[in-house]
Amino acid sequence: MTSFLTDGLIHAAFWVVVGLTFGGAVLAVFPRNIVYNVLGLIVCLSGVAGLFLYLGSFFLALMQLLIYVGAICVAIVFAIMLSPPLHLEAPKRRIPKLVLSAGAAGLFFAAIAAVSWKTAWKPAAQRGTDWSITTIGHFLLTKYSLVFEVISLVLLVAIIGAILTTGFSRRLSS
Amino acid sequence: MNSLTVYLVVGAVLFSLGLFGVLMRRNLIGMLISIELMLNGANLNFMAFNRFLAPEPAVGQIVTLFVMGIAAAEAAIGLSIILALFRYLHSINVERARRLEG
């Protein structure tokens, strides 16, 4: 009885998390006010972190919260505060563009959903069961060490490039 | 609840909403937010395949970590370009940014 109850609770919580993700995504795309978009993005990314928990990876859920919600969303909020006044311009949405983009996105979604629904997915014959952080660290430093280093280099170049871009543009415009 | 298809469809919804946002919005920061949504849909796919099908459960998590790193770099560069463009054009509407020469 209790296990049935906890199973039901876990099940309900899963759909709550999915609903949170969808609601956040809708809030991130549709409103005109950019601050609402960022708040929706935060809700959506937290929902995705919850889905990662359901997929069995506590570490990646934490990383999702730390990197996406903690770093990227804060950076976007900073950019909003440094860029234009919010009430200044709101050009009207053009209906043909709206319809065309909705059609393209809907077509894409229909195709992807049909493919993932129709395909008979088969798990690999031999599946490991090691989900631990130790294994991830081991793989990062042995098999995928080149990619790891390249990502570090990309981040370094991105930091320097961001500083240079904003710094030079300030010098040009002033 | 615990089936691959549910996660794949959730990822597809996130990706399509992001695609819709990128095509529809004219605000550059809004487009960047939509791109983050698309990256998260892809991440969810990686994690789902990793959980249900892959022979080695650590690999999908590693790919997801790499995507997060790339997303951080992309956000930093994109936001700095947006700020530079705003200083130059006094607007972050994409349709105002028509010239490539400085």
Quick one: pLDDT at residue A1?
60
pLDDT tens, residue order, chain A (174 aa)? 667 888 888 889 999 999 999 999 999 998 888 889 999 999 999 999 999 998 888 999 999 999 988 889 998 888 888 776 655 566 677 888 889 999 999 999 999 999 988 888 888 777 777 778 888 888 889 989 999 999 999 999 999 998 888 877 666 655
Q: What is the mean pLDDT of chain B?
A: 86
Please identify, in words, the CATH class of the domain defined by B4-96: mainly alpha
Quick one: pLDDT at residue A89?
60
Q: Total structural domains in chain A?
A: 2
Q: Whole-model pTM?
A: 0.88
Q: Give B99→chain A minimum CA distance, Å.
A: 16
Return the residue matching tokens 């609770």.
Answer: A9
Say if A102 falls within a structural domain: no
Which among B13, B30, B82 has the least Cβ separation from residue A37?
A: B30
Return the residue matching tokens 């031999």.
Answer: A126
> CA-CA distance, A33 to B29, in Å (whole number)?
11
Say if A103 falls within a structural domain: no
Residue A48: strand, helix, or coil: helix
Domain containing residue A32:
1-86
Quick one: pLDDT at residue B1?
56
* CB spacing of B93 vs A89 below 8 angstroms: yes
Give the burial string for A68-105 (b: 16+ CB within 10 Å, else e): bbeebbebbbebbeebbeeeeeeeeeeeeeeeebeeeb
DSSP letter assigned to residue A83: S
User: Do A141 and A82 fall within a single domain?
Assistant: no
Beta-carbon contacts of A67 under 8 Å, excluding residues fewer than 6 positions away, are: B68, B69, B71, B72
Domain locations in chain B as residue ranges: 4-96
Query: Using a CB cutoff of 8 Å and minimum separation of 24, what contacts does A159-166 make?
Result: A159/B76, A161/B77, A161/B80, A162/B76, A162/B77, A162/B79, A162/B80, A163/B80, A165/B77, A165/B80, A165/B81, A165/B83, A165/B84, A166/B80, A166/B83, A166/B84
- Chain A residues close to B87, C-beta within 8 Å: 169-170, 173
Say if A92 falls within a structural domain: no
Taking only the tens place, the pLDDT of each residue in A45-63 is 999 999 999 888 899 999 9
The enclosing domain of A21 has a CATH number of 1.20.120.1200
DSSP letter assigned to residue A94: P
Q: Give B13→chain A minimum CA distance, Å.
A: 7
* CB spacing of B102 vs A172 below 8 angstroms: yes
Query: Using a CB cutoff of 8 Å and minimum separation of 24, what contacts does A143-148 make?
Result: A144/B62, A147/B66
- Chain A residues close to B63, C-beta within 8 Å: none
* CB spacing of A28 vs B17 below 8 angstroms: yes
For residues B93-102, average pLDDT: 66
- Chain B residues close to A82, C-beta within 8 Å: 83, 86
* CB spacing of A105 vs B77 below 8 angstroms: no
* CB spacing of A166 vs B84 below 8 angstroms: yes
DSSP letter assigned to residue A64: I
Q: Give B39→chain A minimum CA distance, Å.
A: 11
Q: Of A52, A86, A120, which residue constitutes the final position of a domain?
A: A86
CA dihedral A134, A137, A139, A142 (to 10 degrees): -120
Could you tell me the pLDDT band of residue B68, with boundaries at 50, 70 and 90? very high
> CA-CA distance, A130 to B55, in Å (whole number)?
10
Quick one: pLDDT at residue A87?
54
First-to-last C-alpha distance (Å) of chain B:
53
Say if A99 falls within a structural domain: no
Q: Give A26→chain B minimum CA distance, Å.
A: 7
User: Please, are residues A46 and A65 in contact by the beta-carbon 8 Å criterion?
Assistant: yes
Residue B8: strand, helix, or coil: helix
For residues B11-16, average pLDDT: 94
Structure tokens, A116: 């993932």
CB neighbours (10 Å) of residue B56? Answer: 16
**Nearest to A69, CA basis, from A89, A87, A43, A94:** A43
- Chain A residues close to B82, C-beta within 8 Å: 79, 83
User: Please, are residues A29 and B37 in contact by the beta-carbon 8 Å criterion?
Assistant: yes
